A and B are shown apart, each in its own frame.
Chain A
């Protein structure tokens, strides 16, 4: 049972995460694979918990999330970037991209606002729509988020 007795609205919550990334091995599982790297760094954090790019919410509120990375490799493949909320796949915030050539790098990014509750866990995931002999690499992955219902920014 979540403890809500000590919760109050309008409190600070922000975070900024970065990973230099690397090869992103995608098994043929048929479901989006969470984006996670051991080399994820926290440059700024208050009232978030995280496991790589999986964010656990400690204060209920409306959150703005901004996520981006450079996609490299996997020539000729189409990918969809999804978000999971508590292991459920969200359909509303996805982005689709195509890797035109393995020699080029493309930025992929999306952002949105979502209502989140204490103990919610939200994280990005990728699925490849068609097969490719080449692996995809994710480079310079960045995730920033903050609670819009916090004091001090308005």
Chain B
């Protein structure tokens, strides 16, 4: 193959679930890694998705910069202030989203960030971390979770 041949670098992935387990951070303000076992993936292009028992792995087949979008609906965690962030291969994105549960009713929120991925090893998990700055007696329920990742470059 000629060295100058053009190769596609595009990649995208959509993952969704309406059965993410409740997040129980009662009595602790430490970040909790979201359990994404129930995520289903479609469509997927140039990503490898492995849904292990406890650590779903989402890995692009090529390195680069990726736009990550999360659209989620939550309820519970009465009046807690919630913070959502993400990490890849142990590196925490500086982008954080904060919102208040305002009585524990249903709230629709969106999280967006651009991350740099430098490895395609499937052991390097993409994780979402969620924490509460106030301690509520009620768990946080995530009634819908939609993840889309698009390779930019």
Binding site for B on A (CB under 8 A): 62, 64, 66, 68, 78, 81, 91-98, 100, 106-115, 148-149, 153-154
Contacts and interface: CB of A to CB of B under 8 A. Distances in A.
Contacts of A97: 73, 106-108
A95 B148 contact: no
Q: Most B CB atoms within 10 A — which of A78, A92, A109?
A: A92
B146 A92 contact: yes
Given A81-B108, A93-B16, A154-B151, A115 B42 contact: yes
B12 A64 contact: yes
Say what secondary structure dominates the interface of chain B: strand
Contacts of A112: 14, 16, 71, 146, 148
A43 B45 CA distance: 29
A145 to B, nearest CB: 12
A113 B148 contact: yes
Interface of B: 8-10, 12-14, 16, 18, 40, 42-43, 45, 69, 71-73, 75, 102-103, 105-108, 110, 143-144, 146, 148, 150-153
B14 A113 contact: yes
Nearest to B151: A154
A113 B150 contact: yes
B78 to A, nearest CB: 13
A62 B9 contact: no
A110 B16 CA distance: 12
A150 to B, nearest CB: 9
Contact of B10 (A110, A111, A115, A154): A154
Contacts of A108: 108
Across the A-B interface, give the 6 residue pairs with the lowest CB-CB distance, nearest first.
Answer: A113-B14, A98-B105, A110-B71, A98-B106, A96-B73, A154-B10
A112 B18 CA distance: 14
A68 B112 CA distance: 14
A124 to B, nearest CB: 13
